Amino acid sequence: LITLFHDLAKPKSIKRINNRIRFFGHEREGAKKIARIMGRLKFSNKEISIAEKIVKNHMRPGNLLQAKILTERAIYRFFRDLGDETVDLLLLSFADRHSYLKIRATKKEVSDYKKFAGLMIEKFFKQKELEKREKIVNGHIIMKKFGLKPGPIIGKLLKIVEENYVLGKIKTTEHALEFIKTKCKRLLRNLQNS
């Protein structure tokens, strides 16, 4: 269903810019439309949420590929945002691009995208393995070390630590706490003063 309807909003978002047809924002509008359709068809909330996420993000893999510099941080955030739907999205994106690249692309472009999708899937499963490791720091440790109270900021700090841990920039609990102290100084100062 997602494959059939991921470009549903293209007609509504069509624009001609410098003699090129563009569909800016069709992914966001398409996500809303597919949610409404699936709701009427009595799909579960979980299924609707998955479909929305995939349709809303189906342009991201192509944008990552076209980035001049594809950083590990950008890849990490892509995987974090898509979660378990990452592989499905990459396969949809490959099929989508393959369908129109055949018309106006070289074999090299199709091959490059295939390699990119394969590499991203491989990296995704490696990252999932890293995320299964025991956490090097938790909210209680952070609150005790910095004299903080429970709240959303603890979650933000944990998210920053997790990202840098998976990227290999943090290796131990001590390193994580030092990282928070130096990299998040302003944030900590504001918290401790409130």
Domain holding 180, by residue range, is: 139-193
Last-in-domain residue among 115, 132, 149: 132
Measured on CA atoms in the order 57, 63, 65, 70, is the torsion positive or negative? negative
* The total number of structural domains that make up the chain: 3
Final residue before a domain boundary, out of 113, 132, 151: 132
Residue 107: the pLDDT is 74
Higher pLDDT, 84 or 10: 84
For residues 108 and 167, state if they share a domain.
Answer: no
Percent with pLDDT over 90 in the chain: 39
Report, as an integer, the average pLDDT of 115-143.
89
> What pLDDT digit, counting tens, does each position of 137-164 carry?
999 999 999 888 888 888 988 988 988 8
Q: Are residues 108 and 83 in the same domain?
A: yes
Mean pLDDT for 55-70 is: 88
Determine how β-strand 20-22 pairs with β-strand 15-17.
antiparallel
Q: What's the pLDDT at 101? A: 53
User: Which pLDDT score, from 0 to 100, does residue 67 have?
Assistant: 83
Whether the per-residue pLDDT at 194 is higher than 80: the answer is no
**Do 68 and 127 fall into the same domain?**
yes
Average pLDDT score over the chain: 86
Residues 52 and 66 in one domain: no
Rounded to the nearest 5°, which phi and psi values hold at 43? -70, 160
Percent of the chain with pLDDT over 70: 92
Rounded Cα distance between 31 and 28, Å, is 5
Task: Report the sign of the C-alpha dihedral through residues 164, 165, 170, 175, in that order.
Answer: positive
- 165/105 same-domain check: no
